[in-house]
Amino acid sequence: MPDLPDSRAPDAPAAAPTHPEQLLREVAGLPALPGVYRYFDADGMVLYVGKAINLKKRVSSYFQKNHGGTRIGHMVGKIVRMETTVVRTEAEALLLENNLIKTLNPRYNILFRDDKSYPYLKMTAANAASGPGGAFPRVSYYRGAVEKKHHYFGPYPSAWAVKEAILLMQKVFRLRTCEEPVFNNRTRPCLLYQIKRCSAPCVGHISAADYAHDVANAERFLRGDAQEVMQVLEARMLAHAQALQFEQAAELRNQLAALSNVLHQQSVDNVSDRDVDILAVKVQGGRACVNLAMVRGGRHLGDRPYFPQHVEDAAAVYWEEGEGVAQADAAPSVEAQVLQAFIAQHYLNVPVPPSLVVSEAVNPALIQTLSLQSGVKVSAVHQPREQRRVWLEMAQTNAGLQLARLLSEEGSQQARTRALADALDLAPDNLDDLRIECFDISHTAGEATQGSCVVFAQHKMQNAQYRRYGIDGITPGDDYAAMRQVLLRRYGKLAEVLREAALTGQTPAGTGRLPDLVLVDGGKGQVAMAREVFEQLGLSLSLIVGVEKGEGRKVGLEELVFADGRDKVYLGKDSAALMLVAQIRDEAHRFAITGMRAKRARVRVDGGKLEEIPGVGPKRRSALLQRFGGVRGVALAGIDDIATVAGISRELAEEIHRALH
């Protein structure tokens, strides 16, 4: 995305930043060719990724001017290294730019993060050779990589939308949803048949030919050919009636009535558009929301909001293509920049429909690049009419509502952060940089002990920075020893690096930072253990705060226990600070207990864990499970006990014990 400098020039120009000579020589030697450039700071972090039709002109313009105290000036002042990639065309540059933006997460680009894949409705392919159920395709919810042999419809904006579509397939076409083991072992129809949601192919209540008709009609409907489906059903109904097959005709009549009712409810019978994405953007209070609504097969499937990061920074770093001269009046609005960034990044990995309805005008070069990338002729409509206009107005309304909700939540969360900082006398240079790490231990009677660390920063939980710690070498059920192990593993290396940095005066690049607050879920005992660890590591005891259950362990009565000798503090049941502490504590508990349950389940029921051990086949696995009552019993057994099982040698017993521990 091109970049424009902030037009708010300071009254007095600031001194131009100095850059390494090597960097300036690289800039001077750049070719006048299209390409992509990346800027890095002293810590090796990516600051910005941009594209240019003329690399030499574009990159040189950053270093030939004094940008003062503007946002672009702050960015340029941090640049110490640059990388460039020359490409053949502007389209290639655009694709590479947005691939790198999604991969590198640069500080001064608009970023859209969406790690979850979209859900699809999956229709299995008919294959009689694959078993009894192979001749009767199944409809199901699906998320993941697609297989060419099956049919997929979507993507859908949410799992709810897929499940609604599956319910529709059951009501109108009565397609099966059961998995193969269930289908192959039925001896009588299930409840879905009784409530007319399935035609019971599992017990032969419908022929393969008739079921194939229903599957074909369902696929036509999902592709948007609703009227054609109704005509086919009507013709079949009349044919059955003429042949005096009144029961079959009545079934088709009911199917027609159900389909007609669905079409009337969804108001799609007069819609010519089949596959359309509607994109509306709203910017307010330094935040932005892009609301994506999906129409597939002529049916409006719902919408999904996206909230980009770094909107303010990226909006200031925008240069108009040309001679490197700022042209603020010609620059697109922030809304247009956000929308173009979303389109460029979102459709890298998501199929693009042939029609886009957008709330802001989009660069034609971007739409042309989408067409080249996808092999589909893509068009973008900025000022739609009729049904498209209705869709766009709905998307704009939802974008405004979602952004208002986000701003309200963020305002509330910032107030909680401020309340906690005031209550505990925390004084970070910037409240946005306040970092809290919380620890919890979870196990079941000493089994599958897990420690968790969750991170709160930037006024929200940072899921990507969560960590789990498997606990070994302690007495089962010893929470204090588990907490000691977790804290040593978490802060041991960091404390060592910080001590060396204090002696040498140099902090290695990439060194992490200590949190402003360390919460431990527990009272005096856990705090005392944390105090021992921090004294051993030479870290400040003022960082440690324990969250002690109140009287009767009731929520809202928790007290804070300090490792540095301060008296306990009760913040008050309605305190915003206590609400934040409880939120972080509860998230640590949730994260720990889910990890513990997953580990416990693997030990207890993962029979595959035994089968993965070389030399343990079905017979030996069965003998082990019978002797010890399950995988957990095998794991708790000693080597000598395992070796007493028939067919298990001493060497194999050692291998089994090693694999399970």
What is the C-alpha to C-alpha distance for residues 379 and 57, in angstroms, rounded to an integer? Answer: 31
Per-residue pLDDT, averaged over 36-50, amounts to 89
Query: What pLDDT score was predicted for residue 356?
Result: 93
Query: What pLDDT score was predicted for residue 635?
Result: 78
Query: What pLDDT score was predicted for residue 509?
Result: 66
Per-residue pLDDT, averaged over 177-186, amounts to 84
What is the C-alpha to C-alpha distance for residues 622 and 630, in angstroms, rounded to an integer? Answer: 9
Q: Walk me through the domains of the chain, giving residue ranges and CATH numbers.
A: 1-112+311-332 (3.40.1440.10), 120-266 (no CATH), 274-302+351-423 (no CATH), 431-503+513-597 (3.30.420.340), 606-660 (1.10.150.20)
Query: Is-above-0.85 flag for pTM?
Result: no
Per-residue pLDDT, averaged over 554-568, amounts to 82
Distance of CA 86 to the CA centre of its chain: 32
What is the C-alpha to C-alpha distance for residues 51 and 29, in angstroms, rounded to an integer? Answer: 17
Per-residue pLDDT, averaged over 269-297, amounts to 82
Per-residue pLDDT, averaged over 275-280, amounts to 92
| Pair 332, 280: CB distance under 8 Å | no
pLDDT bucket at 501, cuts 50 / 70 / 90: confident
Asked if the model's pLDDT at residue 455 lies above 90, the reply is yes
Query: What pLDDT score was predicted for residue 485?
Result: 92
Task: Give the closest residue to 294 by CA, choosing from 307, 306, 279, 281.
Answer: 279
Of 2-11, 238-247, 350-359, 407-416, which range is least confident? 2-11
Higher-confidence residue of 615 and 362: namely 362
pLDDT bucket at 107, cuts 50 / 70 / 90: confident
Exposure string (b/e) for 57-86, b if CB count within 10 Å is 16 or more? bbbbbbbebebbebbbbbbbbbbbbbebbe
Q: What mean pLDDT value characterizes the chain?
A: 81
Query: What pLDDT score was predicted for residue 316?
Result: 62
Asked if the model's pLDDT at residue 290 lies above 90, the reply is yes
Higher-confidence residue of 88 and 72: namely 88
Q: Where are the alpha helices (DSSP H) in 505-575?
A: 524-537
Asked if the model's pLDDT at residue 526 lies above 80, the reply is yes
Q: What percent of the chain has pLDDT over 70?
A: 85
Query: What pLDDT score was predicted for residue 568?
Result: 85
What does 415-442 look like in DSSP terms, one character per residue?
A: HHHHHHHHHTT---SSGGG--EEEEEEE
Of 288-297, 606-615, 632-641, which range is least confident? 606-615
pLDDT bucket at 629, cuts 50 / 70 / 90: low
Radius of gyration of the chain from Cα atoms? 31
Asked if the model's pLDDT at residue 105 lies above 80, the reply is yes
Higher-confidence residue of 131 and 124: namely 124
Of 251-255, 299-303, 511-515, 528-532, which range is least confident? 251-255
132-136, 205-209, 357-361, 501-505 — most confident range: 357-361
What is the C-alpha to C-alpha distance for residues 353 and 224, in angstroms, rounded to an integer? Answer: 14
pLDDT tens per residue across span 188-246: 888 898 888 898 999 988 888 889 988 988 888 887 776 677 777 777 788 878 778 77
End-to-end Cα distance, the chain: 52
What is the C-alpha to C-alpha distance for residues 79 and 21, in angstroms, rounded to an integer? Answer: 12
pLDDT tens per residue across span 597-628: 776 655 544 444 666 677 787 778 778 877 77
pLDDT tens per residue across span 365-383: 889 888 888 888 999 999 8
| Pair 302, 118: CB distance under 8 Å | no
Per-residue pLDDT, averaged over 121-132, amounts to 78
What does 49-102 look like in DSSP terms, one character per residue?
A: EEEESSHHHHHHHHHSS--TTSHHHHHHHH--EEEEEE-SSHHHHHHHHHHHHH
Q: Kind of pairing, strands 379-381 and 436-444?
A: unpaired
Dig out the tokens for 637 from the structure.
């057994």
What is the C-alpha to C-alpha distance for residues 596 and 447, in angstroms, rounded to an integer? Answer: 8
Query: What pLDDT score was predicted for residue 327?
Result: 41
